[in-house]
Amino acid sequence: MSPSKYKDYQILEEEGKEDTIRRTISPRSRHAFLLAFAFSVLLNVICLSYIALHWHGETTNSLSRFAQLPKQDGIHLTKTPFSSANDTVADAEWEALDTTPGTITLPDEFAQNHGIRTGMRFPWDESQGLYVIKGFHNLHCLKAIRRSFREYQQDIPQSQNAGHILHCLDNLRQSTMCTASDDLIPVVSNEVEAGLKMQCRSWEKLTTWALDPERHACYDYIDEYRHAKHEIERFGFCPESSRYYPNMKEYFDREGHQDPWT
Ligand SMILES: *[C@@H]1O[C@H](CO)[C@@H](O)[C@H](O)[C@H]1NC(C)=O
């Protein structure tokens, strides 16, 4: 037998003594052991990678970044009254979309912890910044673009400033390209919309998050299709129960109200 077939083991306490344990391991079983070990390591790596990827997906893909909203059950992309051929019906749907929850105030700490710039000061608590929630801003933009289109259709003068419309179109473009949605819309018998089931977050839950009295900036556009000359008037909607109410009241008691538009 060649020395390579033997492995010598010595029991530590008995080192130096004659008593040496000899074990014989055949090259074949050693090979099998190494193979099994390598396979086990590989399985562990696959398992851990899966967990890591899954975890990554849970925390950064499913939950929204600030309101922490999960993706919920799918809904089908379909025709809705928003695209009704009856203008009265469609107009009513679009006008009922409330964009006022979209302006909120947050402590600077929140912005710092989430790695975003701090917003300009909230008039009723100068230690806090102002933020507009993008989903609501997108809706605000769609409403402005639609309003402009409806005016064109009805051959009435444009109320929307061209600059605002162009800003909105570019904003929606950036938002769309940033999302880079790879949802697939199966083409089904010429009805392009019918086949897509979208994974969605709850708009209602986002609205609830935005309307938390601690967070909502007491902001109401009053008329979101107009440019406000006195923007401060739009912040005048704190309910009495809000902790911002006393500062708001103090300001308007002192300064009085102005026409927001002129
Ligand atoms: C459009 O819808 C409104 C409200 O439901 C209805 O009163 C009106 O008759 C409809 N118009 C047409 C042209 O169908």
Q: How far apart are CA 164 and CA 141, in angstroms?
A: 8
At 151 the pLDDT is: 97
Q: Is residue 26 part of a domain?
A: no
Strands 197-199 and 74-76: antiparallel
Q: Is residue 166 part of a domain?
A: yes
The 8-class DSSP code of residue 61 comes to: I
Most informative mutation of 87, 89, 91, 95 for ligand 1 (most atoms within 8 A of CB): 89
Q: Is residue 198 part of a domain?
A: yes
Q: Which residue has the tokens 């989430």?
A: 114
Alpha helices for the chain (secondary structure H): 27-56, 87-96, 108-113, 134-153, 162-179, 203-210, 245-255
Is the CB of residue 89 below 6 angstroms from any atom belonging to ligand 1?
A: yes
Q: How far apart are CA 136 and CA 221, in angstroms?
A: 12
Number of domains composing the chain? 1
The 8-class DSSP code of residue 242 comes to: S
Task: Give the nearest ligand 1 atom to 92 CA.
Answer: 4
Q: Which residue has the tokens 């909105």?
A: 168
Q: Is residue 212 part of a domain?
A: yes
CB 244 within 8 A of CB 218: yes
At 21 the pLDDT is: 43
For the chain, the first-to-last Cα distance in angstroms comes to 105
pTM of the model: 0.75
The two tokens of residue 37 are 């070990």
At 196 the pLDDT is: 75
Q: Is residue 162 part of a domain?
A: yes
Is the CB of residue 45 below 6 angstroms from any atom belonging to ligand 1?
A: no
Name beta bridge partners: 191: 188
The two tokens of residue 55 are 């975890």
Q: Is residue 111 part of a domain?
A: yes
CB 129 within 8 A of CB 111: yes
Give the residue whose CA is nearest to atom 11 of ligand 1: 86
The tens digit of pLDDT for each residue in 161-196 reads: 999 999 999 999 999 999 999 888 887 776 655 667
Q: Is residue 160 part of a domain?
A: yes
Residue 164: give the domain boundaries: 72-221
Q: Is residue 205 part of a domain?
A: yes
Low-confidence ranges of the chain (pLDDT < 50): 1-22, 56-60
Most informative mutation of 84, 87, 88 for ligand 1 (most atoms within 8 A of CB): 88
